[in-house]
Structure 1
């Protein structure tokens, strides 16, 4: 299961059925749970915790310390959940003590080739980051978000659940849940209706979310005015609460 050319520090803890390819390095304070497969030429440094049934492809660097100049070698962590696919050349940095102490990746995510996940970032579940997506530090991405290739995300931005970015988007503000953005700088385009249909949202809920989008973006209202009007619709459309929560939690202002 472990190639003889792999270098495994004796202080690393690997479940018995973890597979490790040749010329991979796994350092101290790394814990890898059952069923995870690690290809050749991967570097994993700790403290890092990797869950079950993940697949990490060649030339990825996982758990490296951050280049943030405030980082002075403090013990920070990376935690990765279960059933994630991390493709070729992905880089994922641990956290900093100035923020969460931890970078966190949930379950069932796909990080395609050359994705970068900066320090203290949080990725939820079922997200897709297409080739060359780059997340600065402190970025939060909620469940089911999709970032198309070469999307850039500024530090401290929040990307809402079920949102979508077009190819080459440069995101400098928060993206509300369900919203599609595109461009450099990114601008809001519409509700991610096709994505919602694929995930089983009802026609009625998609119609209500589309109406909510128009209240936020087409009526010339302030954000507080739009929130006040949309509160009355939550009783008839439970998914709308996720959109309202993402608006209320925004700290950088939303993409317009």
Structure 2
């Protein structure tokens, strides 16, 4: 059935209105950015709400992770610098410097240094011109403690105490076995002097020196002395010197055969030792 003219006109008018509306929307939307290009802002261009995850992500500073690592995070542990011990100065000069201030010097000796009339006490007395010096000799009879001190000088500053742990007939190995006893009866030394060899002709000298020096704290300087010519059995002095040279990262050595006369007096021995120390 044919539509009436009124109905046709109404349909045409409706289509025209729809077309006009779509044209108006198209014109309005031309200047609007696509939602994917709006970057988390609202329609008006203001920042998005605080709860918007995309907005929170986009607003974070680009270097925020670096700032967290370097910027005083209260949860981050502070690494304290570690103190390292100074390396041992295993030279004659380092040994001397170890007892220049107020100090305790331990002498490990034998029958050439166990009496007040022998070279160790005479040498120590020579140090008393500028500082107070006293010496303790080991009580050999009881073999458990040092004797009362002998005051060699009482003038000046920086007192020096010499603990002469010398025993007649002592081998190097026997001294190593008694080292803890010497220290317990005195104090932890600032430096150690080893003057051995008189009774060591029949012992394994390198093994004995290994054992003795192993007893000394690693931070304590050790000076090994080779006694003057004609005082030891053949080969003893050379064995001591060879061992000391092989262990020069741990001990210093002076060879009195170079500076002392053969078979010296106690006074000559004391002077020769000081000369060797001065020459370094």
Q: Shorter-chain TM-score: what band?
A: under 0.3
Q: Give the strand-richer structure, 1 or 2.
A: 1
Give the number of the structure whose alpha-carbon radius of gyration is greater.
Answer: 2
**How does the TM-score come out when normalised to structure 2?**
0.20
TM-score w.r.t. length of structure 1: 0.21
